[in-house]
Structure 1
Amino acid sequence: MTTRQHASLITLLAAAAPLAALASERFLGMAPCALCLWQRWPYWVAAVLAALAAGLRSRALLALAGLAVLVSAGIAGLHLGVEQGWWPSPLPSCAAPSAGVAMSVDELMRSLAPKPDKPCDAAAYLIPGLPVSMAAMNLVYGLVLGGLALIWAREGGKG
């Protein structure tokens, strides 16, 4: 395969991840948390970089696309640790709303978002009975796709 073909494939596969997440929201009713949403941005960056790599036949841009995908995998690893209770989330929006110490009921009600976000430590499972969360699936997908992009960028192609 050529560099252009490799980059085109990475473009499609990078865009597929956030589109699949959006589909799981829309059609399966799965609510995303803040970390879920953060994991999507590097895929969009990777898709743009890989598209540019395909157009310019640039192995350097393909490598950058691979690194962007690995950033999403890193966020997924962080998210998986939060789900497993290994560490707390660094994002304040990941915590479930609480009354705090000195808040009145009226203050609490005013501070709540109109639609509460899903806490980041509540794992979302796509396949019933399979104990692999969406964050864990994204970690594996991101590592494989990012690694593949880096390998292809290093090996190059015919054009």
Structure 2
Amino acid sequence: MTRAQLSLLAAAGSAAMLAGAFAFQYIGGLAPCQLCLWQRWPHAAAVLIGVLMLALGWRVLAWAGALAALASAAIGAFHVGVEQKWWDGLASCTAGSIEGISTADLLNPDVVVAAPVRCDEIAWALAGISMAGWNVILSLALAAIWVMAARTKA
């Protein structure tokens, strides 16, 4: 495969990861926690990097794509550790934070305020692996594709 094809494959993989995350959120009704949201940003960056890679063809962009995928994998690995209670998570998503909710909304009985989404609870798993765990696995695979793209001649 060419560098462009590999870059397109990796960027499409990140786009698919984002599509899956949004499907779980908007179709499946699983609201994301703060760490889930943070895992999405590197994938969005990887999609943008893939578009730039196709337009410009610069090898350094493939390395940037690999770093983006590795960043999402790292956040996901931290999230898995929080879910498994190997270490503490962020105070904003493991202590039932109400950050971002206005006082007026909290005091208004007509406003439905959803319970905070906790990072230390597994909302969904497949084959015993949480969404954060799958993000780690798939992000590492995407990083490998980006590295292959970077190491491919033209």
- The alignment's TM-score, normalised by the length of structure 2, stands at 0.84
Give RMSD over aligned pairs: 1.9
Residue-by-residue CA offset, 1:3-59 (whole Å, 9 max, x unaligned): 111111122111111111110112222221110111000000111112111111121
1:33 equivalent in alignment to 2:33? yes
CA–CA separation in structure 1 for the residues paired with 2:63 and 2:96: 40
- For 1:44-83, what aligned pairs fall within 5 Å after superposition? 44-83=44-83
How many residue pairs match? The answer is 143
The amino acid of 1:125's aligned partner reads: W
Match of 2:122 in 1: 123
Residue-by-residue CA offset, 1:105-143 (whole Å, 9 max, x unaligned): x9xx55xx933321100012243xx31100110010011
1:153 equivalent among 146, 150, 153 = 150
Structure 2: unaligned runs, 5 residues or longer: 98-102
Sequence identity (%): 38
Asked if the contact 1:96/1:118 (under 8 Å) is kept, the reply is no
Match of 1:9 in 2: 9
Match of 1:132 in 2: 129
The amino acid of 2:120's aligned partner reads: D
| SS of structure 1 residue aligned to 2:72 | helix
CA–CA separation in structure 2 for the residues paired with 1:8 and 1:34: 28
Q: Larger C-alpha radius of gyration, 1 or 2?
A: 1
Asked if the contact 1:3/1:54 (under 8 Å) is kept, the reply is no
Asked if the contact 2:49/2:61 (under 8 Å) is kept, the reply is yes
Structure 1: unaligned runs, 5 residues or longer: 99-105
| SS of structure 1 residue aligned to 2:129 | coil
| SS of structure 2 residue aligned to 1:28 | coil
